A and B are shown apart, each in its own frame.
Chain A
Amino acid sequence: MATKAYDKSFREEVYQNVDSGEDVKLCMQCGVCGITCPLRDEMTHGPRQLWSLIRAGKRDEVMNSPDIMLCTSCYSCKVRCPRGVKVIDVMHGLAHYALEQGIVPRKETSKFGKAFWDSIYKTGRVDETEVPMRYTMMAGPIHGIFNMLEMMDIGRALLSHKRMKFKIGPGLPPSKKIKGMKGLKKMLNKAKAMSPGKEG
């Protein structure tokens, strides 16, 4: 029987560039992570299969797997992993690395992340009216309006309980900036530069 050698280059790429990427080596393929995950029914692969794909050199499948952006950081898998693999760190590490490579494994998460960080970079806070507005509008204005209409009841309830400020649209009126915006930006930029794969 003819055998085919695995492509080792991708796993090396992951070990070197992805946060806690070397933890993948620890995995013994027991399958507990995939069953522990509360989003298991939404996941295509789950962590165990992703680790297996990394070892098998399946770059495209891993980097485009929406699972790496579905992880909600509940930490159940990391707590239960019998080998102590930092599952969440690797999942987020993979997502981060994919974005750096210009791959978007899951559009919705990536857009929400952009809206979230935009708000922090602009005002120093996560504005709970602004972020969802910007997020829904990213799919285009018509889609955005339909989406917002769908959420109207929740919005009303939040307004009546003073859990949300009223806005006509994104930036109307603009959110208040925090004091020391300059210092925060400096910190964020430094953190960004220190992220794995950038240096060390």
Chain B
Amino acid sequence: MGQSILVVGGGMSGVSAALEAAEAGYDVVLVEKNPYLGGRVAQLHQYFPKLCPPYCGLEINFKRIKSNPRIKLYTMSEVTGIEGEPGNYKVTINQLPRYVNERCTACGKCADAVEATIPSSFDYGLGQIKAAYLPHELAYPYRYVIDPSIVETEDGAKAKEACPYDAVVLDDAPKETIEEAGAIVWAAGWSPYDASKVEYYNFNSSPDIITNVQMERLAAAGGPTGGKIVKLSNGEAPKKVAFIQCAGSRDVNHLPFCSTICCLASLKQATYVREQLKDAEVTIYFIDIRAMDRNEDFYTKVKADEKISFVKSKIGLIEPGENGVLVLNGENTTTGERFKAEHDLVVLATGMQPNTDLSKIPADMVYDEYGFVQNAEGIFGAGTVRRPGEVHVSVQDGTSAALKAIQVVAGR
């Protein structure tokens, strides 16, 4: 078969696009920025509305990738240049050094030897990990990474010495590669909106104000607390948990659009709290609860829990109270009352900012006013770079982009 399809982004939509194209008989180059595949889905504790772990689906996909010789995978890589036209692209790929080669068996001896720690980006900065690390316990590829900060230090030498398989390569360097492709699928995903930009929530003022993505890590067994939902200020279980919806969404000063998933994510996370902490009370502060199609049933189910209450109010201020308590100020727009409510853990439901808003595709593309990308003749957006949405929509969108890409390269 002639030309390849290049897929940028190894999250849910990118992996779906790559697999669908490869299994239809096309060669695929898959480029992922992180040292592992799975993107933001790999960081989730559970899916809504079924409350099942995302990893079982991801593992099936990884197995499909592993057994498919048509997929060529680049991790820790970014596309920095695209030249040419549909049917004939030359794509520049910059790969950062992993300092660990394929001989790695993930035995973990390098991590034992190393003393330096770095913030865990997989846990959205909530915990510290060793500077020689496996990205997470089910990572694909299942291989360690050595952080560049220790390569030239004593720790780097210790890691190399500890490795029984000669897998640590301290003189590993960045590589630039040019790949040829007939069509490109851009599935670079999204980033959680920076909560500190919503200044009246004073996000950085207390470790007990966290974001929804951090809450996923707090509840996940592989997370910084081993899956225990606690207040990071003192390690105690929270008694009154608040979720603030539209934290920086549907707001002309921040993300003007609705991300469509944050309501469901908070409803889901409310069940995490209730599952673990029988006495904890949960309050969800909202403008409107947007639970579409089948998710309406999930909303109804969560609403039936008498320890989960709903207050129609966009919180206007979080201020510190006594003994580390957080005081939420709002106007209940159903009753008209202005209130101050005390909580000991606050979760900000921040929205999805398309990564194409933060960093543009190195090609002539058209974006909408929010930074979501429009399809071009040979370059197709897939998943959350096209519009915000939940995981199954990303899978469908990846499949759809694969078909469009196949139409470009077929017969060439």
By a beta-carbon cutoff of 8 Å, the part of chain A in contact with chain B is: 28-32, 34-36, 40, 46, 48-49, 79-84
Contacts and interface: CB of A to CB of B under 8 A. Distances in A.
B57 interface: no
Contacts of A49: 336
Contacts of A40: 338
B250 interface: yes
Interface stretch (B2-10, B65-73, B325-333, B393-401): B325-333
B253 A80 contact: yes
B314 interface: yes
A46 B314 contact: no
10 contacts: A29-B333, A34-B331, A35-B315, A36-B316, A36-B317, A48-B333, A79-B253, A80-B316, A81-B252, A82-B252
A35 B331 contact: yes
B200 A31 contact: no
A31 B250 contact: no
B313 interface: yes
Contacts of A46: 331, 338
B251 interface: yes
Interface string B293-331: 000000000000000000001111100000000000111
Contacts of B331: 31-32, 34-35, 46, 48
Given A30-B246, A30-B333, 13 more contacts: A30-B287, A30-B313, A31-B331, A32-B331, A34-B338, A35-B331, A36-B200, A40-B338, A80-B316, A82-B246, A82-B250, A82-B252, A82-B254
Contacts of A79: 253
Contacts, number: 52
A48 B287 CA distance: 13
Given A40-B338, A46-B331, A48-B333, A32 B252 contact: no
A9 B270 CA distance: 44
Nearest to A49: B336
A170 B330 CA distance: 45
A35 B316 contact: yes
A131 to B, nearest CB: 33
B251 A82 contact: yes
A94 B380 CA distance: 50
A28 B287 contact: yes
B329 A35 contact: yes
Contacts of B251: 82
Contacts of B313: 30-31
A30 B333 CA distance: 7
Given A34-B331, A48-B331, A28 B250 contact: yes
Contacts of B250: 28, 82
B338 A35 contact: yes
Nearest to B286: A30
Contacts of A82: 246, 250-254, 314
